[in-house]
Amino acid sequence: MVNAALSPWYGVALPDLTEPSAKLDFVIKLDATGATLSKDSVAINSTGSLFRFDLSGLKTSLDAYNVTLSGTLRGHNSTYTATSQLSYLPEKTKGSVTKLDNAFGGMLFRNAKTGGKFVPLFPYGYYASHDGFLGAADAEARIRQYAGYGLTAMTPLTHYPESAAVFAYMDALDLRYQYDLREGYKNLTWVAENIRAARDNEGLYSIWNADE
């Protein structure tokens, strides 16, 4: 996605434009190899223009690739550059995947229940304590009632291993949840144990490690 919105606060001044629809011709290249990922043009003062990347020959990686956009204002000698990063992650074959939808806003979610397709996710729900709720003898009935109100997500205030059965039930029910790591986020051993336990869950859409 290429955004070419004009800003009155930062950047460099544009030349006087007489064209009603000025264009920026651009090329996006991989910094490491110089390989061209995309080459096209975009209207000045436009946003959200989508272009396909050529990823042939590019290996998936847990580290992001650095990329640079170089643009030339058509009919002028003005040139512009912008840098960004490209995440090209290995395919995840178990559990859920969540990604930000930078084109239209919000989040996209995928798991076995979506048939492997990304669908919009609007997580709407509440905190759920362990005592008196998720740790209760009738926890499954309480979770079913919660989901029956039309709530699409939950933030359980509980962890593995004490609530393994609860997370498994929410996975089966396809109730999405945010996993809470706030209580021990500085204890990296505890964090690693919890991430390993939850990372392939079907209902997991987010990890919560801090707020305020």
Mean pLDDT, residues 58-72: 94
Q: Residue 194 is inside which H or E element, if any?
A: helix 188-198
pLDDT at site 19: 66
Q: What are phi and psi of 47, to 5 degrees?
A: -135, 155
pLDDT at site 5: 86
Mean pLDDT is lowest, of 17-21, 69-73, 128-132, 138-142, for 17-21
What proportion of the chain, given as a percentage, has pLDDT over 70? 99
Q: Name, in order, each residue with C-beta under 8 angstroms of 9's C-beta and a sequence gap of 6 or more.
A: none
Question: Residues of 53-89 as b/e, b for ≥16 C-beta within 10 angstroms?
Answer: eeeeebeeeeeebebebebbbeeeeeeeeeeeebeee
Residue 167: alpha-carbon gap to chain centroid: 22
Count of CB atoms within 10 A of residue 142's CB?
A: 16
Q: Specify the pairing of strand 204-208 against strand 176-180.
A: parallel
pLDDT at site 6: 85
| Residue scoring higher pLDDT (21 or 131) | 131
Predicted model pTM: 0.79
